[in-house]
Structure 1
Amino acid sequence: MMTGTSASSPSYQSEQIEALLAKSGWAGAQRRHLAGDASLRTFETVAEGGRNAVLMRWPFTGNQVPDAVRSYMTRVHLAQDCRSVLAIGQELRAHGFRAPEVFAADIEAGLILSEDLGRTTLVEHGRPVEERYHAAAKLLARLHGEAWPEVVKISGNTSYQVPVYTSEALIAEASLFLDWYYPELAGEAAPQEVRTEFEALWKKALSSIRSAETGWVLRDFHSPNLLWQPAAAEADRIGLIDFQDTVIGPVAYDAASLFLDARTDISVELESALRNAYVACRVDQNANFDVTSFDRAYGVMALQRITKILGIFVRLARRDNKPGYLGHLPRMQGYLQRVLDSGAVPDLKEWYLRYAR
């Protein structure tokens, strides 16, 4: 037993990292902090002898995550240990998708050392590169044409159950709008009657797409997590990362994530072109692909994601002291208006016109 340090202390985790690197042939590697995402995870680049890797540190142990945060993660099925990364990545690679190869992992310590797929995304100089987005749309169609398991066996007796993206989880996510964005606009907490109406309308909207196609939803299928591989063959030109929160739900959700990318401006024309490219691929896979059902689900999922992200960006700015996320709000507000104007969500449109301005 170790003495003088706790299992959650930085010094203890550093010892675990060094042990993992030594055991996997990366002893003495140079480590540098890598700018992470909006989650609680942290990342480092690891370099040794001309090789490069990425070390993910998953600090969701002990008392490091407040009870309220962990409760929310549970409600919306966010992964709470690194088994999800191993399981989802393993299955993606088995189906021929470019997910980072795992070099070493310590599940108990929350550490994964994996292939470094670079930093080039679908965006250059702040603008979407259409060729890359079309490749991503086709890849997404290919992913949605596959059959995916509910349980993934990782190794030995270790397995991972892919959660179901329930209506309760989708509404809880959308309610971040009420928790954070509404007060930002109104200067006061959302009244209970506003919240009650919001939840009732969302239950009805989600019920209306109950028959929509479901499958694996990677959940953040957008430019920061789609890494362009210029030297790769066409099928491998996009590397997939940040898929740990994969759920089983309406596949149109990931289409909305890509076609209305939260991190760059997607024009109406590009959104339409990407939708058409995706649908054409799905029809090629299956002549009976239900385009009408997809479009209906796309409208609802697009509104849900936009609603959620408006709340998340304000939360990141106000609670987590990351004010840069406020710069994305005008884009999301524009997307919100676009979806409302499309007529895809008529029952919700009036509510948003009243409370989202």
Structure 2
Amino acid sequence: MRRDTPPRETVIRQFLERSGWGTARRRPMGADWSARRYERLALPGKGDGNGGGGATAILMDCRDMVAASQVPPFVQIAGLLRDCALSSPVILAGDEPQGLLLIEDFGDDDYARLLDGGDVPWGPLYEVATDVLVALHQRFIPATAPDLPRYDMGLFRDQVMLFADAFAPAVRGGTLPAGAWDALAEAWEGVLPAALTLPPSLLLRDYHPGNLMRLAGRSGVAACGLLDFQDGGIGPRAYDLVSLLEDARRDVPADLRQAMTRRYLAAFPGIDETAFAASTAILGAVRHARILGRVAQLAEATTGAPQLSFLPRVWGQFTGAIRHPALSPIAHWVERHLPANLDADTIVRSF
């Protein structure tokens, strides 16, 4: 006889009881683009609920099979980062089959809030974030994680084609002509090898201010807390630097981007800077194209989604990246198959 699945709230309460947090106050913290939900927990009389050093923790609640499948890699990569003396959350308790984790509370000082508040200089935050990548790429040994996904040409090609599946039809106002999808796939296959010439490292994938935390009481690279790395894998080292400096949600000044790139390269004098620049441009175009496709996909399902506001910025980043000579096949495809002179209003009205 089939047993009914307990309500989600019952599962969570049982998990918290087993973990010693059954009496904790619970405060929702919101969600991201997945089925993950977060709560801050504070044990009565101890934590003040704001990460100020009391008995607090974060509940990660992965509510469907896809989100729950990301719990084991989150735990694994958190351990790999700590092995590199970097600040990933300590796992306090977990029920991986149920998609539940109780993790260390890093507080409220995420880089996005600090940058957008206008009261904190940008330079020191970006310096630490860049130094984290330097430390990671100096310390991490790919052979220690043979089971992590490989961000190789096939994976990047598959991800970037969401641009043709969702974004291009939306701004065109109709489907692509026959052969256009295959032509773009072929163009990417010709371009991507130049992005993969540098030695690989641990790629965190969503390395941007919304997932970086300023941690009081820690120094050096340990002062930057790392979150949302469950989609990480082994891949080209330039990707996370691009993710940091070509931010979908805010304009990073050109002089700051250039300074952080020089800061990173100074730590690796053996890197061919021409090859690095080509890899950066290609991976930037890949990332921007994937975001454009993903947001277009979400907008189709949710009219008026708030993430539409940064589509024009990402489009500008994409068109800037494909000016690099290594991306001329992609630029030619865009010129041939997308409307000329797309502007912010046109892009937003397309969804």
After TM superposition, the score normalised by the length of structure 1 is: 0.84
Conserved? CA contact 2:69–2:99, under 8 Å: no
Aligned residue for 1:35, secondary structure, equals strand
Q: Which residue of 1 aligns with 2:282?
A: 300
Conserved? CA contact 2:199–2:236, under 8 Å: yes
Superposition deviation, residue 94 in structure 1: 1.7
Of the three residues 242, 245, 250, the one matched with 2:231 is 245
Conserved? CA contact 2:131–2:221, under 8 Å: no
Which range is displaced more, 168-177 or 335-344?
Answer: 335-344
Superposition deviation, residue 151 in structure 1: 5.9
Matched, 1:60 2:68: no
The CA distance in 1 between the partners of 2:126 and 2:188, in whole Å, is 30
RMSD (Å) for aligned C-alpha atoms: 2.3
Superposition deviation, residue 126 in structure 1: 6.2
Change (3 A) 1:106 1:322: farther
Change (3 A) 1:321 1:44: farther
Aligned residue for 1:304, secondary structure, equals helix
Q: Which residue of 2 aligns with 1:110?
A: 99
Matched, 1:340 2:322: yes
The structure where helix makes up a greater share of residues is 2
Amino acid at match of 1:200: E
Matched, 1:145 2:131: no
Change (3 A) 1:16 1:234: same
The CA distance in 2 between the partners of 1:223 and 1:192, in whole Å, is 40
Q: Which residue of 1 aligns with 2:29?
A: 34
The CA distance in 2 between the partners of 1:291 and 1:17, in whole Å, is 50
Aligned residue for 1:125, secondary structure, equals helix
Conserved? CA contact 1:213–1:294, under 8 Å: no
After TM superposition, the score normalised by the length of structure 2 is: 0.86
1:121-200 aligned within 5 A? 121-123=110-112, 124-125=115-116, 129-149=122-142, 161-200=147-186
Aligned residue for 1:189, secondary structure, equals coil
The CA distance in 2 between the partners of 1:244 and 1:192, in whole Å, is 37
Conserved? CA contact 1:174–1:305, under 8 Å: yes
1:260-299 aligned within 5 A? 260-283=246-269, 288-299=270-281
Change (3 A) 1:203 1:354: same
Conserved? CA contact 1:33–1:45, under 8 Å: yes
The CA distance in 1 between the partners of 2:144 and 2:95, in whole Å, is 20
Conserved? CA contact 2:160–2:286, under 8 Å: yes
Superposition deviation, residue 170 in structure 1: 0.8
Aligned residue for 2:131, secondary structure, equals helix
The CA distance in 2 between the partners of 1:267 and 1:81, in whole Å, is 34
Amino acid at match of 1:125: D
Q: Which residue of 1 aligns with 2:90?
A: 101
Provide Cα deviations, 1:270-327, integer angstroms capped at 9, x if missing partner.
Answer: 22112111111223xxxx2332322221111011001111111222222245611100
Q: Which residue of 2 aligns with 1:46?
A: 41
Conserved? CA contact 1:217–1:253, under 8 Å: yes
Figure out how many residues of one structure are paired with residues of the other and give that number.
Answer: 326
